[in-house]
């Protein structure tokens, strides 16, 4: 019963306020007002999660004066915690400090249940912590022969009474040890409770004897065709505790997705082999992260995984056969939530895994994760979202509508099928400039901060050497070759005569460009062949055509901004991408990188279960465009192979570069740039 | 749109009626009126489950005349079914026969979804068929690149549209084969759908290509300390297809429950050993039943299991340690529903198992199953329900209130700890009469229809011989000895002089009674020793005291009727039980046997999922009495060892028997009948 002449308690930053009788603990007042103040022990002075910051003095804006004795005196419980743990001066424990007079109480971020998890990018939206599984400490009534009931039922009753939790079920794995843990803890236990979602009802998934000091964890996994990355997250703080990545062990069955689909078609049991490989790989990765972090695998209670549709099917044990042919039917497109045990994962036996929904047969859960992270559906301006990989997943939209498609860019952007191409690793050329007059290149190599024409460069790369050109390097290389007049608009490399440099040399029926000749020192010879140019032309034409198709569907000719997602996207130079005509015309300062947006989306879904329902709804509303059956896509593709394909389409180029008007065609290889790559 | 001048369709036996336009299929009319008419194929003329019986002519009570052409003509689909399958003359397929005029349609029991499953006992309530899992045939939309969605999502949409099922989930085990089965069936499939309950949301658990002709099955298991019995039930018809039983393989760890609890206390890993043993036994039993019936184990989609609390814990993998000591705390008392995989069962991977709730630490899921079968909570008159085993579970109640307790009768009633005791098997004496004048016995042996003094008896038992006395036999034996004056009220066997027969002989410090002396032919010597009498006295005193305690709590001195449950209960002679004072005074024609009521309860819960919520609610409302802490139980026990303990308490005896007033006490063994057995 509160009365208006009782002391007034005002909480900040929420501004919630109410009158409470003298003697009311601050934690109780917070609960009654619905203020977000954390507690694991339920006010028993054990967990110290309910730390608050009282303020004293005159508060004109709240209309109160807080006296020095507005709260009960600092007590022994608080003294014990302050001496044993981290507790800032001036802080009080909400469960110990009791109302004595009007008081203003600030709840610091770390004492909020639904903390904001800070993201590094300033423009990125915050993640609100709201994990599937939380910890609750309870004291359970002992058994009584006069009123027999099971230990579990008394535990559930205690959780309901103390925490207002619903009637909980219990995971089967809890039963075997429940009785001994209750007794060992003197009928005091800490429970990990999965609070329930669309797939499971609320349930107890772990019980510790007594008060459990530690935390519980989740894993956000980005399962790519080439690499698997995982982030171990603390479900209480939202922090990433440890991360690691491994090569996808499926690579031995084929570098790209289509070759893996082919492997399963050609080999009896091939899909099963690949399923075992990827599950084993994930278990190995989890074990590694467990070792790095010192966190027991059994403390991992939730997993969110994102991946492309082929990986999705192979990981779930579904033959990806249907994804290899029209109509590219997914076995299931909705989100998948299941026990990790069904997937052979060696973590907590009651843990669950959630896979984000797939958008379409070629636009997977990874694309949905990008959507979740970058939220085009919440954008005021029209954003083009491109995740470049072997397929590019492209989204275009704003808060009114989002369109999505996939475009078969092939592996050229990843450095594959490029004569001197390689993965982004020390020794790889990642940035290039070509002098338009001398046609001489200078470049930056991963592992060194010096340009190749700077003093000390050779020493700086002594350990790695110069080994090849990575994906972002090849984009710059081709764009710089075009700017320097070494390559013409249709994509032919000129002869030494045409270009005026002996770096261009006849290489079979066409010419190549010598980037680096280490042969004198028995080192590598790094060239760009005309075939390399063709590969890049096809890849960029596919990417551009997909984006352009979505713009047609949206009935727009320009976009407000472009976000490049993915590790590759983070390294692309917007200027060079524009020169190549990879992306539609856009002011360069409106082209940004979102980093590993798929991984971030996985982390958001892991830390905030509400984001799961949200992305499921969003994905349902995305308009899916299948490029394979869109005649306009073919048209765009055919018209997009030139560098750039049309100056009219790229007015921005006029402000950043002058493209020489060269034409090296001597009659051969006319169709070279127009071969169509099969979808991969 | 129905109009009042459309033809009138009247369904019997429901009496539901409505006007439907000419051309409306009868199945459609039934669905619209909510008439219970079965169909698996949804009206596609495939399953023939919707057979109905039209009636023609004048129906005064319905106020209609049904013309001969009230339904559309017999068609080719019906002709095909009639030629290929069972279809009685005059029957029509509800999906093919269309309304042409007013018509009266009878839905025969076998065409009802919620069929009544007939029980053999006339007084037993029917079982309404309402299983967890049903079959649904659907035609699924093919994938479309213009509107990409997963195969599963289109399957779910089809089930929702055609069957008005909710948004279904899918069991993980379905995913791997879903795409190939949909295509193999030409986008027509039959689904087994678990319709959901308090523990799982509705979900697809199996998919067959095309129309699946077969049925799906469930297993009702009665897991006893000594034997495990299982009934394979057809979930579409409710019929028991096959039954079998095996010895509980845990017997090698101890005959009775307490010795198994001790085994687990004394042996590291002992509980786990017993868990493995019982689970292996159940798998073996299931395999045997699968072989007998020819039903694939993968067609078993649901299991209901009942057992006592110790078996319950051991089966679930919980150490029964706490059940061996006060306060006899169960790990969980509520019903348990989990995947059979968690229990290592080799049946359908998505199948679930349901264990009925336990009533208290000594009154298990088996007792709850007896409650479900015998429904004391729905009885108008006051019923005493006794399930006799090593413990007797006793319930007393009517629709106002039900009380329950367990009483430690020990194994004497099962023939154990009786010198010539044995299990009920060929060769065991099961019925006895003793001539009050000559004191000579005659008996019936299991396996023969002849009394031992009839011609041909010796030949009739040639294969088994006479091997011992079974549980129900020992009850009759002791009662007959009392009636014949061979045993006195306190339980002493008289000397030859006191009884006047040399069948009584000095056997150590007390006398024994010779039942059968086969020693001349090297056969067995079957006697009843005074120690046997003591064992029976303790067992019957425990049973009586438990019943009496409940009567005290209910504040009654008599009960209206007594139901004896269990295999043993089926063989007890009410008269002899009354003479012994096992059960409270009651008219003999009000003492009936319910047979294996626990097994029947399991079958009810298997076939009708609504019965599960019902028994959970009933069990919550049962008043549990713990005999171990009730002083009145001790008092009753001490006073109940005499045979009978008090003629005043058994007025019924005066009408059925005259008990001789003998007293053979010569000063020794005064306390023999008063030893208390530890709880088992």
pLDDT tens digits for A206-263?
A: 999 999 999 999 999 999 988 899 999 999 999 999 999 999 999 889 877 888 888 9
Between A435 and A5, residue with greater pLDDT: A435
Is a pLDDT exceeding 70 seen at residue B677? no
Bond into A644 cis (ω within 30):
yes
B chain contacts of residue A201, beta-carbon cutoff 8 Å: 199
Distance CA B374, CA A601 (A): 56
pLDDT digits (tens, 9 = 90+) for B311-351: 999 999 999 999 989 899 999 999 999 999 999 999 999 99
Residue B483 located in a structural domain: no
Dihedral of alpha carbons A449, A454, A455, A456, sign: positive
What is the SS3 assignment for A638?
Answer: helix
Measured CA to CA in angstroms, residue B29 lies from A216, A456, B119, B161, B226 at distances of 56, 90, 32, 18, 53
> Which of A141, A144, A147, A150 is most worth mutating to test chain B (most B CB atoms within 10 A of its CB)?
A150
Which residue from A483, A481, A509, A511 is spatially nearest to A495, judged by alpha carbons? Answer: A511
Say which range, A236-240, B178-182, B666-670, has the weakest mean pLDDT: B666-670
Residue B449's pLDDT band (cuts 50, 70, 90)? very high
Closest-CA residue of chain B to A313: B176
Q: How many domains does chain A have?
A: 4
The rounded radius of gyration (Å) of the Cα atoms in chain B is 30
Q: Could you tell me whether strands B103-106 and B8-12 are parallel, antiparallel, or unpaired per DSSP bridges?
A: parallel
Q: Could you tell me whether strands A188-194 and A133-139 are parallel, antiparallel, or unpaired per DSSP bridges?
A: antiparallel
Distance CA A203, CA A167 (A): 8
B chain contacts of residue A358, beta-carbon cutoff 8 Å: 150
Residue A81 and residue A40 in one domain: yes
Q: What backbone phi and psi angles, to 5 degrees, belong to A136?
A: -140, 125
* Interchain contact A629–B (C-beta under 8 A): yes
Query: Tokens for A592?
Result: 């940004």
Name the minimum distance, in Å, from the CA of B273 to any CA of chain A: 14
Q: Which CATH number is A281's domain given?
A: 3.30.420.480
Residue B151 and residue B266 in one domain: no
Residue B675's pLDDT band (cuts 50, 70, 90)? very low
Is a pLDDT exceeding 90 seen at residue A115? no
Domain boundary among B209, B236, B266: B209
* Interchain contact B631–A (C-beta under 8 A): no
Query: Nearest-5° angle of CA B428, CA B431, CA B434?
Result: 120
pLDDT digits (tens, 9 = 90+) for B77-111: 999 888 887 789 999 999 999 999 999 999 998 89
> What percentage of chain A reaches a pLDDT higher than 70?
96
* Interchain contact B333–A (C-beta under 8 A): yes
Distance CA B166, CA B197 (A): 13
Residue B334 located in a structural domain: yes
Which residue from B650, B430, B479 is spatially nearest to B577, judged by alpha carbons? Answer: B479
Residue A588 located in a structural domain: yes
Write out residues 539-558 of B within 8 Å (CB-CB) of A: none
Most confident of the ranges A84-88, A557-561, B256-260: A557-561
Instruction: Tell if the CB–CB gap between A148 and B332 is shorter than 8 Å.
Output: no
What is the SS3 assignment for B25?
Answer: strand
Find tokens 């990874």 and name the residue: A366
| pLDDT confidence of residue A123 | 60
Residue range B174-179: mean pLDDT, rounded? 97
Distance CA B287, CA A243 (A): 47
Instruction: Please name every residue paired with B383 in a beta bridge, in sequence order, or none if there are none.
Output: B397, B561
| pLDDT confidence of residue A676 | 45
* Interchain contact A172–B (C-beta under 8 A): yes
Residue B362 located in a structural domain: no
Residue A149 and residue A223 in one domain: no
Is a pLDDT exceeding 60 seen at residue A14? yes
| pLDDT confidence of residue B2 | 52
Query: Tokens for A585?
Result: 């015309």
pLDDT digits (tens, 9 = 90+) for B476-535: 999 999 999 999 999 999 999 999 999 999 999 999 999 999 888 888 899 999 999 999
| pLDDT confidence of residue A608 | 97
Residues A357/A616, Cβ–Cβ less than 8 Å: yes
Residue B678's pLDDT band (cuts 50, 70, 90)? very low
Residue B252's pLDDT band (cuts 50, 70, 90)? confident
Bond into B460 cis (ω within 30):
no
Please name the residue ranges forming H helices in A455-513: 457-460, 471-483, 496-499
End-to-end CA, chain B: 68
Say which range, A248-262, B272-286, B336-350, B570-584, has the weakest mean pLDDT: A248-262
Query: Tokens for B586?
Result: 């009651």
Q: What is the full DSSP assignment across B563-582?
A: EEEHHHHHH--HHHHHHHT-
Residue B667's pLDDT band (cuts 50, 70, 90)? low
Number of cross-chain residue pairs from A and B with Cβ atoms under 8 Å apart: 141
Which residue from B202, B206, B208 is spatially nearest to B181, judged by alpha carbons? Answer: B208
> Which of A142, A145, A269 is most worth mutating to test chain B (most B CB atoms within 10 A of its CB)?
A145
Task: List Cβ neighbours of A180 (8 Å cut-off, separation of 6 or more).
Answer: B319
Query: Tokens for B462?
Result: 């040639």
Between A589 and B81, residue with greater pLDDT: A589
pLDDT digits (tens, 9 = 90+) for B109-152: 889 988 888 776 656 668 899 999 999 999 999 999 888 899 99
| pLDDT confidence of residue B251 | 86
> What percentage of chain B reaches a pLDDT higher than 90?
75
Residue A462 located in a structural domain: no
Residue B98 and residue B172 in one domain: no
**E strands present in A64-187:** 64-66, 92-93, 103-106, 116-117, 127-128, 133-139, 169-170
B chain contacts of residue A328, beta-carbon cutoff 8 Å: 143, 145, 148
pLDDT digits (tens, 9 = 90+) for A551-585: 999 999 999 999 999 877 888 899 999 999 999 99
Closest-CA residue of chain B to A169: B199
Residue B300 located in a structural domain: yes
Which residue from B253, B296, B247 is spatially nearest to B273, judged by alpha carbons? Answer: B253
Query: Which domain does B179 fall in, by range?
Result: 127-209
| pLDDT confidence of residue A232 | 97
> Which of B141, B178, B179 is most worth mutating to test chain A (most A CB atoms within 10 A of its CB)?
B179
pLDDT digits (tens, 9 = 90+) for A597-614: 999 999 999 999 999 999
Residues A494/A511, Cβ–Cβ less than 8 Å: yes
Is a pLDDT exceeding 60 seen at residue B257? yes
Residue range B191-216: mean pLDDT, rounded? 96
Dihedral of alpha carbons B629, B635, B640, B646, sign: negative
Between B120 and A16, residue with greater pLDDT: A16
Residue B28 and residue B67 in one domain: yes
Which residue from B308, B47, B282 is spatially nearest to B163, judged by alpha carbons? Answer: B47
Residues A400/A389, Cβ–Cβ less than 8 Å: no
Q: Which CATH number is A76's domain given?
A: 3.10.20.30
Residue A63's pLDDT band (cuts 50, 70, 90)? confident
Residue B523 located in a structural domain: no
A chain contacts of residue B150, beta-carbon cutoff 8 Å: 329-334, 358
Residue A602 host element (H or E)? helix A597-607
Stated pTM of the model: 0.90
Instruction: Please name every residue paired with A525 in a beta bridge, in sequence order, or none if there are none.
Output: A517
pLDDT digits (tens, 9 = 90+) for A185-194: 999 999 999 9
Q: What is the mean pLDDT of chain A?
A: 92
Residue A226 and residue A198 in one domain: no
Bond into A175 cis (ω within 30):
no
Q: Which CATH number is B596's domain given?
A: 3.30.420
Residue range B249-253: mean pLDDT, rounded? 90
Residue B322 and residue B404 in one domain: no
Residue B525 located in a structural domain: no
* Interchain contact A631–B (C-beta under 8 A): no
| pLDDT confidence of residue B671 | 45
pLDDT digits (tens, 9 = 90+) for A383-424: 999 998 778 999 999 999 999 999 988 888 877 789 999 888
Pick left, alpha or beta for residue A556 (phi over 0 → left; psi -120 to 50 → alpha; otherwise beta): beta
Distance CA A447, CA A432 (A): 15
| pLDDT confidence of residue B501 | 95
Which ipTM value was assigned to this complex?
0.90
From the centroid of its chain, how far is CA A78?
A: 40
How many residues are there in chain B? 680
Task: Centre a 10 Å sphere on the Cβ of residue B97 and count the other Cβ atoms it contains.
Answer: 25
Say which range, A660-669, B61-70, B124-133, has the weakest mean pLDDT: A660-669
Domain boundary among A184, A209, A234: A209
Instruction: Tell if the CB–CB gap between A148 and B328 is shorter than 8 Å.
Output: yes
Residue range B596-613: mean pLDDT, rounded? 95
Query: Tokens for A287?
Result: 């074990």
Find tokens 């069962």 and name the residue: B345
Domain boundary among A111, A127, A149: A111
Instruction: Tell if the CB–CB gap between A175 and B316 is shorter than 8 Å.
Output: yes
Residue A523's pLDDT band (cuts 50, 70, 90)? confident
Residue A149 and residue A92 in one domain: no
Is a pLDDT exceeding 90 seen at residue B647? no
Question: Which of B148, B175, B176 is opposite residue A360, by nearest beta carbon?
Answer: B148
> What percentage of chain B reaches a pLDDT higher than 70?
96
Is a pLDDT exceeding 90 seen at residue A528? yes
Residue A332 and residue A240 in one domain: yes
Is a pLDDT exceeding 90 seen at residue B367? yes
**E strands present in B518-605:** 525-529, 561-565, 591-595
Residue B88 and residue B135 in one domain: no
Residue A547 and residue A607 in one domain: yes
Residues A449/A461, Cβ–Cβ less than 8 Å: no
Q: What is the full DSSP assignment across B240-257?
A: EEEEEEEE-GGGGG-SSH
Supply the DSSP symbol for B608. Answer: B
Residue A314 and residue A386 in one domain: no
């Amino acid at each position: 019963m509160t009365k208006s002449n009782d002391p007034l308690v005002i909480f900040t930053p929420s501004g919630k306020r109410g009158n409470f009788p003298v003697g009311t603990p601050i934690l109780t007042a917070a609960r009654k007002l619905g203020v977000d103040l954390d507690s694991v022990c339920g006010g028993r002075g054990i967990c110290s999660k309910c730390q608050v910051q009282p303020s004293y003095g005159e508060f004109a804006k709240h209309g109160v004066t807080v006296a020095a004795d507005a709260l009960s005196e600092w007590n022994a419980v608080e003294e014990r915690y302050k001496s044993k743990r981290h507790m800032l001066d001036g802080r009080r424990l909400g469960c110990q400090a009791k109302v004595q007079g009007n008081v203003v109480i600030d709840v610091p971020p770390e004492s909020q249940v639904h903390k904001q998890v800070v993201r590094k990018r300033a423009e990125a939206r915050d993640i609100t912590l709201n994990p599937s599984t939380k910890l609750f400490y309870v004291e359970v009534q002992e058994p009584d022969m006069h009123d027999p009931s099971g230990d579990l039922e008394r535990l559930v009753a205690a959780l309901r009474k103390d925490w207002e939790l619903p009637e909980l079920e219990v995971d089967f794995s809890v039963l075997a040890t429940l009785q001994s843990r209750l007794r060992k803890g003197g009928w005091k236990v800490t429970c990990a409770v999965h609070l329930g979602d669309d797939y499971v009802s609320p349930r107890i998934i772990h019980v510790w004897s007594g008060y459990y000091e530690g935390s519980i964890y989740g894993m956000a996994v980005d399962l790519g065709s080439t690499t698997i990355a995982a982030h171990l997250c603390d479900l209480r703080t939202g922090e990433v505790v440890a991360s690691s990545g491994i090569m996808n062990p499926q690579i031995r069955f084929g570098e790209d997705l289509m070759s893996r689909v082919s492997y399963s078609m050609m080999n009896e049991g091939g899909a099963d082999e690949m399923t075992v490989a990827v599950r084993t790989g994930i278990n190995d990765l989890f074990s590694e992260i467990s070792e790095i972090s010192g966190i027991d695998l059994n403390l991992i209670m939730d997993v969110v995984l994102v991946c492309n549709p082929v990986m999705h099917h192979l990981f779930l044990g579904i033959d990806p056969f249907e994804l290899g042919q029209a109509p590219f039917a997914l076995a299931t497109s909705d989100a998948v939530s299941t026990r990790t045990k069904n997937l052979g994962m060696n973590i907590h036996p009651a843990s669950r895994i959630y896979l984000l929904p797939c958008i379409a047969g070629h636009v997977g859960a990874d694309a949905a994760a990008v959507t979740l992270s970058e939220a085009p559906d919440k954008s005021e301006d029209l954003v083009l979202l491109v995740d470049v990989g072997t397929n590019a997943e492209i989204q275009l939209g704003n808060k009114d509508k989002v369109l999505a498609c996939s475009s078969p860019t092939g592996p050229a952007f990843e450095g594959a099928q490029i004569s001197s191409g390689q993965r982004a690793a020390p020794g790889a050329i990642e940035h290039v400039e070509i002098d338009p007059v001398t046609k001489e290149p200078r470049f930056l190599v991963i592992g060194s901060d010096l340009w190749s024409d700077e003093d000390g460069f050779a020493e700086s790369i002594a350990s790695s050497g110069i080994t090849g050109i990575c994906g972002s390097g090849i984009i710059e290389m081709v764009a710089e070759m075009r700017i320097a007049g070494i390559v013409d608009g249709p994509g032919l490399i000129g002869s030494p005569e045409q270009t005026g440099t002996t770096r261009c040399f006849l290489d079979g029926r066409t010419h190549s460009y010598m980037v680096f000749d280490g042969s004198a020192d028995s080192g590598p010879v790094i060239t760009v062949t005309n075939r390399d140019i063709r590969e890049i032309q096809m890849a960029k034409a596919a990417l551009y055509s997909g984006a352009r198709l979505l713009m047609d569907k949206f009935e727009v000719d320009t976009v407000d901004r472009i976000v490049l997602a993915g590790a590759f996207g983070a390294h692309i130079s917007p200027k060079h991408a524009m020169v190549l005509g990879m992306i539609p015309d856009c002011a360069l300062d409106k082209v940004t990188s979102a980093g590993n947006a798929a991984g971030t989306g996985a982390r958001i879904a892991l830390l905030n279960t509400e984001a799961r329902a949200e992305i499921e709804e969003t994905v349902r509303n995305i308009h899916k465009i299948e490029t394979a059956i869109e005649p306009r896509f073919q048209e765009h593709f055919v018209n997009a192979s030139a560098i750039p394909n049309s100056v009219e389409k790229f007015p921005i180029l006029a402000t950043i570069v002058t493209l020489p008007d060269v034409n090296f065609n001597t009659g051969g290889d006319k169709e070279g740039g127009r071969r169509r790559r099969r979808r991969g």
